Amino acid sequence: MSSIYKLSISGIRSFSDETQETIQFSKPLTLIVGTNGSGKTTIIECLRYATTNELPPNTKNGASFINDPNLHSSNETKAQIKLAFQNTKRVNMILSKSLIAIKNPRTNQISFKTKENQLMAIHHGEKQTISSKVADIENLIPYHLGVSKSILNYVIFCHQDESLWPISESSILKKKFDEIFDSSKFIKILDSIKLITKEINNDVKLINNNVEHFKNDKIKFENKINLINLLKSQINNNKEIMIKKNLKIDEINSNLQILYTSNQDYERIIFKMESLEQDKKNMIKNIENLKLTTKLINKPKELLLNELNNFTDLLSNQMNQCSKLQDSINLKLKNIEIESNNLNNLLIKN
């Protein structure tokens, strides 16, 4: 719950612009009493202007709301309203509104201007500026107080000159109540709800149509899935058949290789047989030739072997003799070469 605990006024109505008059509000109730003209209404006007930015009635657009510059022989009067309050989240806040009344020296007319507005929050003893824009502050104050602007204006800080609005004409009364209860806002919300409901109904119809399409798509999808599963099953069966066929092909290839190898062996055997047959013919022919050219010796085998061995020894002796003769020839050739060299040397000396 929000609460206002301090108000400072300077230069408003009969309040001096040279000093700050501060009012401390008590909880749960503060009574403002005093004689006529002591500033009771001005306090309410300041609270109303601070919270709603609404000027009091019959103030000539705010010119008479500020201390008249003619009272102290000046061309301008500076005024300020400060409001300290605690918002609905128990954060201490300070609202400051600076005003000025300027007198035109030629026409003596007084004009009203807003000089500076500022809303600050106090966090752990440090001041933080929330906003300094009039439009933002006008919306932020009701938000932080948790009360609408209409209730602040027409109920809580209602000006005494406007306090009879509950017994005013029905059209004015209806307008006030509509503002207090946010009827226009409620109507706008109802219109928004109707529009949203219509949009939702349209979306529901569209969704229902989409659901039918999705159902058909789902059936098509399921059929496709079943077809895919069937094709997968056929593929797996074909893979198994292919594996068996490949095994059969490998077996046939193995048998073909065996047959090919056997065929090569057969061809080699045939070739070898033909070669042996030819050798046989050649040998028979050689035997026949030998029979024609060779004289048979009618001697026992042992005697022939003995003669063969003796022939080997004889051949060996002859070979040794040939070797000795060759050595002797080589020695004589060497001596001849030496003698030839000596002779050549003698010829050279002579």
Answer yes or no: is 226 within a domain. no
CA-based end-to-end distance of the chain = 157
Per the domain annotation, does 95 fall within a domain? yes
Domain-embedded: residue 108: yes
Model confidence pLDDT, tens digit, residues 231-250: 999 999 999 999 999 999 99
Task: Output the domain CATH number for residue 31.
Answer: 3.40.50.300
pLDDT at residue 303, rounded to an integer: 78
Residues 280 and 288: their CA atoms lie apart, in Å, by: 12
Domain count, the chain: 2
pLDDT at 14: 87
The pLDDT of residue 350 is 61
Residue pLDDT, tens place only, 149-184: 889 998 999 988 888 888 888 888 888 888 888 777
Q: Is residue 92 part of a domain?
A: yes
Q: What does the pLDDT average to over 201-228?
A: 90
Host H or E run for residue 97: strand 92-103
Domain-located, residue 14? yes
Q: Averaged over 62-67, what is the pLDDT?
A: 85
**Angle, alpha carbons 284-287-291 (nearest 5°):** 140
* Domain interval for residue 323: 300-350
| Contact (CB, 8 A) for 32 and 41 | no
Specify if 194 maps to a domain. no
- Report pTM: 0.54
pLDDT band at 79 (very low <50, low <70, confident <90, very high): very high
List the beta bridge partners of residue 103.
110
pLDDT at 75 over 90: no
User: Do 160 and 305 have their domain in common?
Assistant: no
Q: Is the pLDDT of residue 328 over 80?
A: yes
The pLDDT value recorded for residue 302 is: 80
Please identify, among 132, 164, 196, the residue that sits at the C-terminal boundary of a domain: 164
> How many Cβ atoms are within 10 Å of 150's Cβ, its own excluded?
17
What string of DSSP letters covers 220-282? HHHHHHHHHHHHHHHHHHHHHHHHHHHHHHHHHHHHHHHHHHHHHHHHHHHHHHHHHHHHHHH
Q: Flag whether 140 is in a domain.
A: yes
In the prediction, which pLDDT does 297 show? Answer: 67
Q: How far apart are CA 213 and CA 25, in angstroms?
A: 69
Mean pLDDT estimate for the chain: 87
Of 96, 130, 164, the position where a domain reaches its end is 164
For the segment 182-193, the average pLDDT, to the nearest whole number, is: 80
Domain presence at residue 121: yes
Residue 268 has pLDDT above 80, yes or no: yes
Looking only at the bridges linking them, the beta strands covering 92-103 and 76-86 are antiparallel
Per-residue confidence (pLDDT) for residue 47, from 0 to 100: 95
Q: Mark which of 118, 143, 164 sits at the end of a domain.
A: 164
